[in-house]
Copies of this chain bind each other. A is one copy, B any other.
Amino acid sequence: MVRVTITQVAARAGVSVASASRALNGLIASPETAAKVRDAARELGYVADATAQSLKRGRTLQLGYAVADIGNPVYVEMMAAIEQVVSASGYRLLLSSTGTGSSSVDVVRDLGRGYVDGLIISPLRVTDELLTALAAAPIPFVVLGRLPDSAAFDTVRADSPTAMRLVVDHLVAEGRRDIAFVNGPADTTPGAMRRDGFIDAVAKHADLRTRRIDSLDFTIAAGYDAALPLLDRPDRPTAVVAANDLIGVGVLRAAEDLGLRVPVDIAVTGLDNTELAEVVRPGLTSVDLGAKERGRAAAEMLLARIADAARPPQSVTVPPALVVRGSSSASAPSALRRLEPVDEERAHG
Contacts and interface: CB of A to CB of B under 8 A. Distances in A.
Interface of A: 1-3, 45, 47-52, 54-55, 60, 62, 70-71, 73, 76, 79-80, 83-84, 87-88, 92-97, 100-102, 109-110, 112-115, 136-138, 220, 249, 253, 256, 275-276, 279-281, 336
Nearest to A70: B80
B49 A114 contact: yes
5 contacts: A50-B114, A51-B51, A70-B83, A94-B95, A279-B279
A336 B50 contact: no
Contacts of A279: 220, 249, 253, 276, 279-280
A192 to B, nearest CB: 26
A322 to B, nearest CB: 22
A70 B54 CA distance: 28
B96 A92 contact: yes
A73 B80 CA distance: 12
Contacts of A87: 96-97, 101-102
Nearest first, the 5 closest Cβ-Cβ pairs linking A and B are A50-B115, A47-B112, A50-B113, A1-B138, A51-B54
Nearest to A1: B138
A88 B97 CA distance: 11
A253 B71 CA distance: 25
A336 B258 CA distance: 11
A92 B92 contact: no
Contacts of A93: 94-95
Contacts of A45: 112
B276 A48 contact: no
Contact of A97 (B55, B80, B136): B80
Contact of A100 (B51, B55, B84, B115): B84
B114 A88 contact: no
Given A49-B113, A249-B279, A256-B336, 12 more contacts: A1-B137, A2-B138, A3-B112, A3-B138, A45-B112, A47-B113, A48-B113, A52-B55, A70-B83, A80-B97, A93-B95, A280-B281
Given A87-B102, A279-B220, A280-B279, A92 B115 contact: yes
A249 B55 CA distance: 49
B114 A51 contact: yes
A84 B345 CA distance: 48
A239 to B, nearest CB: 20
A110 B47 CA distance: 8
A182 to B, nearest CB: 17
A220 B274 CA distance: 14
A243 to B, nearest CB: 17
Nearest to A110: B47
A295 to B, nearest CB: 12
Contacts of A276: 276, 279
Contacts of A80: 70-71, 97
Nearest to A59: B51
Contacts of A92: 94, 96, 115
Contacts of A52: 55
Contacts of A94: 62, 92-95
B95 A95 contact: yes
